[in-house]
Amino acid sequence: MPSQLFLTGANRGIGLAIVQEALTRGYRIFAGARRPHQARELQALAQSRPDQLTLIPIDVSDDDSIQAAADQVRAHADRLDVLINNAGVFPRGERLDNLDSQTMLRTYRVNSIGPMIVTQRFHPLLQAGSKVLNITSQLGSITLHMSNHYSYNSSKAALNMLTRILASELRPEGVIAVVAHPGWVQTDMGGPAAPISPAASARGILNLAERLTPADSGEFFTWEGKKHPW
């Protein structure tokens, strides 16, 4: 039985690279995207591997959309081995004098709350040994405090704490939950100057997912599998 994976934000960037890498590793993949009918690369992959890849519409800022996605995956699968909350947004140019509450709320909705509601609605598919990887960022590290992006950095710091709590609650079930920094990656978000390719990041994230044990639950890792400062 192949490992079964669901991820969000699968249509571009790191998410698309995770789909490509997971296909080569033989996973059964449920790839979540806001508008899968417009996702050309995903569509082409799904057409070439219809038994291995199913596209699932999901907007992680909309609870009804999340529930519909969970229902759709449950129609095909009775368990998930890996759940990757990858979708994210990164507003730029924030300063105290232009800080906008709607931008902050939207960022928290996608980056912090979305992964929690996705995990809540997919919980019936998680079993002992299932792994939840919440894709955070080094910019969410309070210890490192690497930049002043108010909404993004604080949304990822919140995701880090939410994941700690989630790991604690799910520990008795044997479900493992971690946050993972994917590296600074060449995507629309990371920009062309980033040193890491999406493919290399995706390989690291799947390597991490495959080697996680219950003792790792609640921890903050890099895409290379090292512990990251909180």
Ligand X SMILES: NC(=O)c1ccc[n+]([C@@H]2O[C@H](COP(=O)([O-])OP(=O)(O)OC[C@H]3O[C@@H](n4cnc5c(N)ncnc54)[C@H](OP(=O)(O)O)[C@@H]3O)[C@@H](O)[C@H]2O)c1
Q: Which of 27, 131, 152, 227 is catalytic?
A: 152
Q: Which is nearer to ligand X, 89 or 178 (CB)?
A: 89
- The bridge status of strand 28-33 relative to strand 53-57 is parallel
Distance CA 56, CA 54 (A): 6
Q: Which of 27, 131, 150, 156 is catalytic?
A: 156
All residues at 6 or more sequence positions from 116 whose CB lies less than 8 Å from its CB, including other chains: 162, 166
The one-letter amino acid at 34 = R
Angle at 50 between CA 47 and CA 56, to 5 degrees: 90
Q: Which is nearer to ligand X, 35 or 92 (CB)?
A: 35
Q: Which is nearer to ligand X, 97 or 188 (CB)?
A: 188
Q: List, edge to edge, every strand of the sheet that includes 220-222.
A: 53-57, 28-33, 4-7, 80-85, 126-135, 176-181, 220-222
Q: Which is nearer to ligand X, 107 or 217 (CB)?
A: 107
Minimum distance from residue 118 beta carbon to ligand X (Å): 9
Q: Nearest to ligand X by Cβ — which residue?
A: 13
The answer to whether residue 156 is catalytic is yes
Positions in the binding site for ligand X (CB under 6 A): 8-9, 11-15, 34-35, 58-61, 86-89, 110, 135, 137, 181-182, 184-185, 187-190, 194
Minimum distance from residue 61 beta carbon to ligand X (Å): 4
Distance CA 164, CA 22 (A): 26
CA neighbor of 10 nearest in space, from 81, 51, 72, 58: 58
> Is 43:49 a contact under the CB 8 Å cutoff?
no
Minimum distance from residue 172 beta carbon to ligand X (Å): 28
Minimum distance from residue 114 beta carbon to ligand X (Å): 7
The answer to whether residue 152 is catalytic is yes
Catalytic residues: 152, 156
